Amino acid sequence: MTGTPATAIHKEQVVQDHLITQLVTGEGYRQRDPATDYDRPLALDKALVIEFIQQTQPDAWAKLESHYTASAEDTFFTQLAKALKDRGLLDVLRQGIKIVPGIHFVLCYFQPASALEPKRVAEYEANILSVMKEVTYSTKNDNRLDIVLFVNGLPIATLEAKNRLTGTTFKHAEKQYRTDRSPAGEPLLTFKRGALVHFAFDEDNCSMTTRLANGKTRFLPFNRGREGGAGNPDIDGEFRVAYLYRSGTWGKAIFSREVLLDVIGRFMLLEVSGKKETLIFPRFQQLDAVRKLNAHAQSFGPGHNYLIQHSAGSGKSNTIGWLAHHAINLHNDADQPIFNTVVIVTDRVILDRQLQDTVAQFEQTQGVVKKIDGTSKQLKEAIAKGARIIITTIQKFSTDHLKALSGQGGRTFAVIVDEAHSSQSGKSAQAMTDALTREAGSSDEIEDMIAAYQKSRGPQPNISFFAFTATPRNVTLERFGTKGEDGLPHPFHLYSMRQAIEEAFILDVLQHYTTYSAYYQLEKAIEDDPRLNSRKGQQRVARYANLHETAISQKAEIIVEHFRRHVQPMLNGQAKAMIVTSSREHALRYYFGIRDYLKQQDYSDLKALIAFSGELKHDDQTYTEPVLNGFSETELRGRFDGFKKDGTPYPETYQLLIVAEKYQTGFDQPKLCAMYVDRKLAGLQAVQTLSRLNRTMPGKEATTVLDFRNSVEDIQDAFRPYYEVTALEANSDPNLVYDLEGRLFKFGYLDRTEIDRFAETFYQGKLSGGDRAKLEGLVREAVQRFEADDDEGRQEEFRQLLKSYMRFYSFIAQVMALEDTSLEKLYSYGSWLARLLPNREVPPDIEITDDMLKLQAFKTEKREEGSASLGVGDTAALYAITEFGAKPYTEDEQKELSEIG
């Protein structure tokens, strides 16, 4: 920025000139003259293409000249132009071109994973990066682009620069691309054939797109984030967008050789869905997360935990795919691989399929990615045979034979956990760690074996965990977070919900929120007045009222009329809505209620689908999801979207999807514009359910929620911990494990001698049938003492405390080394005891039926309407585990049916 005359500081050219200067002086770019060096019809810098080829592949060029003599250069560019048109620039850069007779030309050399081959390193360094300004690119007129970046003479990126001091911003640059940069007939701007990406920027902000489509062009934010929100932070002596062109504390510049060629070689992706093609260029937070995670792993090796808090809808599947392929190619200073195997783990089958498809698209070498879509035996074989990238569900790690997998302690693993929740802090996660760490030939001393087993629960030197979630729980933060100066765990990388909303990458689902209250009057319809459990009785009476045909029909009318008036016109009639119900039966009643109302009003333009698992009986008939919808469960996503996998439309259009649990998480449908909620939501469930609405698409500017069961305050309380960075108020106290242990032994049911004898057999290895009988016999000694106690309150308190111990020990043992084998013994013994303890006998509840109660009146009224959006700093910290509320069982107060009703 130095040396600019004061009279010129307000010109737009100042920003672009500064960027070019930094690229030339700091990043090794050559500045080229567009008047003499740019070929408009080919959209190439032909001289640099030839220079690169002749310097790096002289033998191939000599062969071309010997075969084609004087027409060698023309032949080369003719075939290059054809390859660019047919296959696209990205594929040409990665795969090169071939010319008869079998002459292969490489158009770009990517950075090798290892420096063991100096030739490959030299080839990478031989790539020529260049820049032109004020490029008259058009073959039709004299339209110019501010900046074009090239690699080996091929165009990689175009840039339009604005200067806020002149009253123009990156938004004006976006508009310029939409209105004055038509791609029709322009090789440089043609999708796939021309430049890979187009940037609009000013001093403060940047956005990008990979496809110019005139007025339909969609730009995505490409900013670092500022104080938890949108934008970029200040940089001393520089523009806020300096991360594009200048390396600094934020890392290597985006346009540096290292980053730009990495993006081209191992990030960019052509996504094909039916007839639709999308060129994916990583957004800043995706690129930043992958590069920072790999840089840390490369510097410090395996054995570390990383929590990545990225907002829902932020492209997590692609980020995981990029991380996996980068991690498997990481080498240390001794050129040894950091990780032998990458294991991608998810706890949701639907998302597992999505991840498998996404990761497989990044596969460059056949067989690198191993999808475990069969049994856990298949997973065991994949690990034993040294598969490079494995994708599986966490449940497959929890089988007995996987726990016994040996000989893996000498290998290193990167375990990428998708949607890290409490399941990654429990038994399934422990079984996974066992599978990857237990070594053959352990000590025969029982105490040593137990100590080793306990140690294996904690951090392992051969395993790094990379945990992704938008909504970390308190245990997730403690398990995977990075300790800060305050001693508390924090995410390693953050892309907050607030930043995503402010950047308009996702929508604020709380912006238009309406709540309703239901009022009902019931009358007892039987002479008897049975006494009911007060709390459960009230719940059953309320359930009866909410499931009543009158209640459903009123809500169905509200939903359908609201959808027709406010939602259906959106997205040119393509808008969808989800109805969230409290149970499978509730969903079925809604399905019939919506169907009947549509028939009554002759609304033939609206149709509803239902999603639920298993079978349901209603009015002596059995129903399943496929029977009601008229097609298989696997077709539902496509049918609801309206299009088949090949892009052709289905004959029928569905606008409403009625769900109960199913599809409330892991369901990505950008056309969802409204949600109708008729179930209690709290905490993570509220955030994850409502976040189904937040995906953006052209024409979708807002969402709406009608909520029949929750207040605005309830929903805001659920969102607050996850709006900005999720924080923990304090660390959990590990000494609580001894508090729980002491409380358990006070009951007199447990005997330490029996527990020690149990451990001597349990930890010896594979159990025979006789061993299992012996262990069960030992545990039944405690069961008999438990059954001899006639105090049901004490029994119930013990049950609850035992469950608390099992959960808390499993969690805390993964966070730190406990070095106390008695705790490990109690955990293993307790797992058997919990299964063998008799269940508490609970008197059967009286089912409320139409014969018992009559609904005299039901009324649904609007209660709150407006914005429920959170503001800057409107957050709440999560609480640590501080106590366990096991309470003695006491008989609930009993009330008569007439009093409850």
The reported pTM is 0.85
pLDDT for the residue numbered 422: 43
Residues of the chain with CATH 3.40.50.300: 282-495, 513-728
Which residue type occupies 815?
V
| Residue 558: CA count within 13 A, CB half-sphere | 25
Q: Which of 882, 486, 520, 557 is nearest to 706 (CA)?
A: 557
pLDDT for the residue numbered 448: 67
Range from 168-177, 369-378, 693-702 that averages highest in pLDDT: 168-177
pLDDT band at 888 (very low <50, low <70, confident <90, very high): low
pLDDT band at 379 (very low <50, low <70, confident <90, very high): confident
Residue 386 burial (CB count, 10 A): 9
CATH architecture of 282-495: 3-Layer(aba) Sandwich (3.40)
pLDDT of 354 higher than 50? yes
pLDDT of 331 higher than 60? yes
Task: Report residue 251 as tokens.
Answer: 């890392």
Give per-residue pLDDT as tens, 791-818. Answer: 888 998 999 999 999 888 888 888 787 8
pLDDT for the residue numbered 898: 45
Q: Which of 616, 654, 651 is nearest to 637 (CA)?
A: 654
Q: Which fold has domain 513-728?
A: Rossmann fold (3.40.50)
The Cα 414–Cα 406 span in angstroms is 18
Task: Report residue 400 as tokens.
Answer: 């007995």
The Cα 599–Cα 367 span in angstroms is 53
pLDDT of 129 higher than 60? yes
Q: What is the mean pLDDT of residues 53-61?
A: 97
Q: What is the mean pLDDT of residues 520-526?
A: 49
Residue with the two structure tokens 């209660």:
863
The Cα 304–Cα 293 span in angstroms is 10
| Residue 397: CA count within 13 A, CB half-sphere | 27
pLDDT of 241 higher than 50? yes
pLDDT for the residue numbered 208: 97
Residue 455 DSSP SS3: helix
Distance from the Cα of residue 611 to its chain's centroid = 23
Region class of 460: left (phi > 0), else alpha (psi between -120 and 50), else beta: beta
Give per-residue pLDDT as tens, 20-42. Answer: 999 999 999 999 999 999 999 99
Q: Are 340 and 333 in contact (CB under 8 A)?
A: no
The long-range contacts involving 618-622, CB below 8 angstroms and separated by at least 24 positions, are 618/585, 618/588, 618/589, 618/592
